[in-house]
Amino acid sequence: MTSDNPRDQLSDLILRVALRDRVAFDMLYGATSAKLFGTCLRVLKDRAEAEEVVQEVYIKIWLRADRFSVTGQSPMSWLIAIARHHAIDRLRARREAAGGMDEAALTIRDPAPGPEASAMAAGERRKLDGCLGELEADRADAVRAAYLEGDSYADLAARHDVPLNTMRTWLRRSLIRLKECLQR
């Protein structure tokens, strides 16, 4: 992989998996399995079942990696969506097997926002992007990586070659500036 950007690295791995590259698949599993397991565990609330579902999810990823490029999603969002939907399917199957439950109890609300919420979110996203643009480039990158992509402070400190406490200060000060900008 040539890029230092984790998002680009994941995209590259998924595209290589679509070409049936087993090494890329192993690397993708290593880089994402903990996050996908957490997603499944939050939905299912059962560790053993979540482990089983994660294995099934990676089979789906192996079989459907060629569909990634047409979704337009970030690689992690695409992977999490597959895991979440599969876990919800398992949860529904578990509840149906229990039988005798009220049909309303089986209904799981679709978390996707409606048209009005999507329009509001797009406006808020533009405003946030504008405010991020006012930050120094390395600070804005650190904020995006920490709060939108879930990177740890330690990873960010290493990536930007600064001490951990410096990274914490960057992020704290950047959040204060963003808050001020968003309140204008």
pLDDT tens readout for residues 117-154: 667 767 777 888 888 899 999 999 998 888 777 788 88
Q: Does 1 reside within a domain?
A: no
Q: How far apart, in Å, are the Cα atoms of 82 and each of 56, 97, 181?
A: 10, 23, 35
Given a contact cutoff of 8 angstroms between Cβ atoms, the answer to whether 34 and 85 are in contact is: no
Question: Does residue 124 form part of some domain?
Answer: yes
Q: Domain range spanning residue 55?
A: 6-106
DSSP for 73-87, please give it.
--HHHHHHHHHHHHH
Specify the pLDDT at position 32.
94
Q: Is residue 37 part of a domain?
A: yes
pLDDT classification of 112: cutoffs 50, 70, 90? low
CATH number at residue 156: 1.10.10.10
In a domain, 102, yes or no: yes
In Å, the largest CA–CA distance within the chain is 58
Whole-number average pLDDT of the chain:
85
End-to-end CA distance of the chain: 41
Which residue is listed with tokens 């509001």? Answer: 120
Segment 25-68, tens digit of pLDDT: 999 999 999 999 999 999 999 999 999 999 999 999 999 888 88
Last residue of a domain, one of 39, 73, 106: 106
Give the number of domains in the chain: 2
For residues 23 and 116, give the distance between their C-alpha atoms in angstroms, rounded to a whole number.
43
